[in-house]
Structure 1
Amino acid sequence: MLVSTIVLYFYVRNLLQGEIEEELRSTEARIETSINENGPMYQLPPVVEIEKVALLGTERLKDTLIFDPSQDELEEFRELTTYSDIKGKKYRITVRTLIVESEDILVAVVVSYLVIILLVFSFLFYFNKAWNQKLWHPFFENLEQMKRFSLTSDKPILFMDSEILEFSELNYEITALTDKVRSDYKNLKQYTEDVSHEMQTPLAIIQAKIDNIINGDHLNDAQFEHLTSIQKDIQRLTQINKRLTLLTKIENQQFSNIEKVDITHCVGSTIQNFNEISDKEIKYERDDVIWAEMDRYLAEVLCNNLLSNAIKYTTGNADIRVIASDKTLSIANHGIRALQHPENLYTRFYRESETIKSTGLGLAIVKRICDLYDFEVDYKYEKGMHTFSITFK
């Protein structure tokens, strides 16, 4: 566009200059004809001037500036001066005409091109926008369908047909992929549930048999200690099985029964239950009632795991402090030193110390529950106290 603007400018200027020279010669020819026919020598200075001269000169064609009283400024004229011998008399004929200034030509060309560019751009913009919207509409509709895809739902993905071959192939491959993923998920889920269910019965039977042996009369001290150790391992295995199953269900978002739960009441009930089986004193300060939109069973699990963790890891006979205030639940227990690797607190099977036997899954479950409902969980160690805080949004 830039190069064509320059070319057009010079082309239009030369074209106008040629037309002006043609007009000047045409006027000069009419004047000679009029003089030859004994017509009046019409003059209109500075446009037309006719003078008798003694000698003939050479023709001149040039540009000149002449004052224009109507515009009160100098204007550029094209001037043609010729000499003619008519009926034995010599004449100098000068004709002038106003020409279009180069600046005016340039402005006209630039403005014209700007208008054309604007029109072309507007047309192409709206045309391409409309065309692209039509072209990409099936893609974005199918993208929304993919965003709503859920492994737990049996509802198939209904893709919009498209005339674009690539989109059609993409729809086919995504449909095959989602069907395969959903099938694999169902098989894995069924396998997990079957294993968890089938393990419960043998473990319960083993536990019952060991109880019967322990309660018998023919055990020595060594046998009693071995059986007691086996019994604890079986109980721990049962806990691990239950908690891993719970974690799997949480991560698969199988808890869809959302209701308004009074967290402060849930904490109070949990504390009452622990007071019956634990010698640790739990001090509960409730400044506000905390409500949360979540599954009630998971709320109980959340409170139980936090309090169980505090009771398990508190040192000495120090009190456990539970504070409910301003949508935040804080549970603090006494500790000799800060954790060496607090970043691993919510990792499965992580234990800071092997002296306390635990599954290592309690805080991992707490973290998954908070992530599920977008709660904020925080840990800090200050003034000899381990404090876990959960902010319920």
Structure 2
Amino acid sequence: MKLAARYNRVTIVVTLSVLIIGAIVYFFAINRIASALLDDHLSEEVAEVTEYVHLHSQFPTPTDMDDDRTSFERLKGKPIPTRFFDTVYVAPKLKTEHEGRGVEGTLTFNGSHYRFVIIISKESTQSLLQTIATITIVLMLGLFIVLFIVNRYLLSDLWRPFYVVLDHLKAFNVSDQNTFTPVKSKVDEFNELDKAVELMTKRVSGEYHNLKLFTENASHEMLTPLSVITSKLDTLIQDERLVSEQYEQIQDIYSAANKLSRLNETLLLLVKIENDLVPEAELVNFNYFVNEKYRQFQDMFSERELTADTEISNKQLKASTYLLDILLNNLYSNAIRHNIKGGHIQIKLNKDELVFCNTGAANPLNGDAIFNRFEKSKNSDGTGLGLTLVKNICNLYGWRLSYEFNNGLHCFIISF
């Protein structure tokens, strides 16, 4: 849920809750005030009846009208206290029930106690309460509509700079030379956020370009002496005057130099992949690449006396052919290098996944660590970066790479 929507929901819920609670309290307060006014009116009626009895030494004529009823009744027992009450009575003309407010009490006349009952209609008061309730509901609806419009349009415009900054962050590419475009706002917090993001992007871009320059220079400077070393070693190896021990030592140096060269190239490639500095992706027939690599590795299969089963289905995907070549090279090399002599390899490709399974060590590998950099077995002569490269290529294109150990086979699964 977006922040603006969350804010709107909270504002509307809180406002409506306050309005509803306020309306309920307001209704009961008005109702209490109206009852108090009716009681005052009834008290005046009682005072008038009492005064009339004292002046005329008789009770006034009982009334039975639609809006007013008065009755007197002689008491045989003790006098009753004065009390106010709500009641329902039948109007004589309309023959309908009406709600009323009444008072009853005791009058003493000629030594006798008389019970009096005065009832007046609550119709006018109820009409007033209904009018007040209607006005309150209309005001609540009006306020709700105003709040909705303000939150929906005015406040959304207020949050616009924030979303502009957020879009800039989403579109930010550390390798892009375009500068961050400042956003002008009348809100100080948004201006501070904009300045902080601008400084951050400049700092990140500067550090990235420095690191990129250092990596490229270091890689170039390392390749030059490595090329000289391998070239001189090639010359030495061809020298017929070398004895067997010297030849073996030079061969070890030559292998180490080649390994260092591969390590340098692999690390540089990892940096390019992690920073999305790879060739553009294109739609390719992946099954063609898998079959072609299988053909290229046939000699290595024969050399290690390996058997292979393949189930290759048609599969199209969008990726860099350069990275696909590296990915398949590492998967095939890994399945061969870590296999046993006379072992077996299974290769399956369908629309959902690519699976490489091979025989090898009797125990499963550490699935959480095998994709880490420089993670390799003790007997491995590789760089320990092959599966890391495969993992990073899969991450680049949103594929999932996993490891399983089933029936003595080590399986690497790429789910598209």
| CA displacement at 1:347 relative to structure 2 | 0.6
Alignment of 1:348-387 (within 5 A): 348-352=373-377, 354-387=378-411
| CA displacement at 1:318 relative to structure 2 | 2.0
Distance 1:155 1:256, change over 3 A: farther
Amino acid at match of 2:120: L
Matched, 1:312 2:337: yes
Alpha-carbon displacement from aligned partner over 1:311-348 (angstroms, at most 9, x marks no partner): 11110122323222344222222114123423211011
2:122 match: secondary structure: coil
Matched, 1:157 2:180: yes
Q: How many Å separate the matches in 2 of 1:267 and 1:291?
A: 12
Residue 87 of structure 1 corresponds to which residue in structure 2? none
| CA displacement at 1:175 relative to structure 2 | 0.6
Matched, 1:10 2:35: no
Residue 350 of structure 2 corresponds to which residue in structure 1? 325
Q: How many Å separate the matches in 1 of 2:99 and 2:282?
A: 89
Residue 190 of structure 1 corresponds to which residue in structure 2? 213
* TM-score computed with the length of structure 2 as normaliser: 0.76
Matched, 1:285 2:310: yes
| CA displacement at 1:29 relative to structure 2 | 9.4
Alpha-carbon displacement from aligned partner over 1:135-158 (angstroms, at most 9, x marks no partner): 212112211211111112122232
Q: How many Å separate the matches in 2 of 1:254 and 1:247?
A: 10
Amino acid at match of 1:288: S
| CA displacement at 1:217 relative to structure 2 | 2.9
User: What are the ranges of 5 or more consecutive residues in structure 1 without an aligned counterpart?
Assistant: 36-40, 52-59, 85-91
Residue 11 of structure 2 corresponds to which residue in structure 1? none
Larger Rg: 1
Residue 249 of structure 1 corresponds to which residue in structure 2? 272
Alpha-carbon displacement from aligned partner over 1:79-106 (angstroms, at most 9, x marks no partner): 799999xxxxxxx9x8955232899599
Alignment of 1:1-393 (within 5 A): 1=22, 5-19=27-41, 21-22=43-44, 44-45=63-64, 47=68, 67-69=89-91, 70-72=95-97, 75-78=100-103, 96=118, 98-100=120-122, 108=130, 111=133, 115=137, 118-119=140-141, 122-123=144-145, 125-126=147-148, 127-276=150-299, 279-280=303-304, 281=306, 283-352=308-377, 354-391=378-415, 393=416
1:355 match: secondary structure: coil
Residue 88 of structure 1 corresponds to which residue in structure 2? none
1:344 match: secondary structure: coil
Q: How many Å separate the matches in 1 of 2:412 and 2:71?
A: 111
Amino acid at match of 1:236: K
| CA displacement at 1:170 relative to structure 2 | 1.4
| CA displacement at 1:371 relative to structure 2 | 1.0
Amino acid at match of 1:309: N
C-alpha contact (below 8 Å) 1:66/1:75 kept by paired residues:
yes
Amino acid at match of 1:141: V
Amino acid at match of 2:201: T
Distance 1:79 1:298, change over 3 A: same
More displaced, 228-237 or 374-383? 374-383
Distance 1:30 1:157, change over 3 A: farther
Q: When the two structures are aligned, how many residues end up with a matched partner?
A: 373
Alpha-carbon displacement from aligned partner over 1:137-194 (angstroms, at most 9, x marks no partner): 2112211211111112122232431101111111112111101111111111111111
| CA displacement at 1:231 relative to structure 2 | 0.7
1:356 match: secondary structure: coil
1:261 match: secondary structure: strand
Q: How many Å separate the matches in 1 of 2:320 and 2:70?
A: 106
Identity across aligned pairs (percent)? 25
Residue 57 of structure 1 corresponds to which residue in structure 2? none
CA RMSD in angstroms comes to 4.0
More displaced, 280-289 or 75-84? 75-84
Q: How many Å separate the matches in 1 of 2:123 and 2:339?
A: 96
1:253 match: secondary structure: coil
Q: How many Å separate the matches in 1 of 2:135 and 2:70?
A: 40
* TM-score computed with the length of structure 1 as normaliser: 0.80
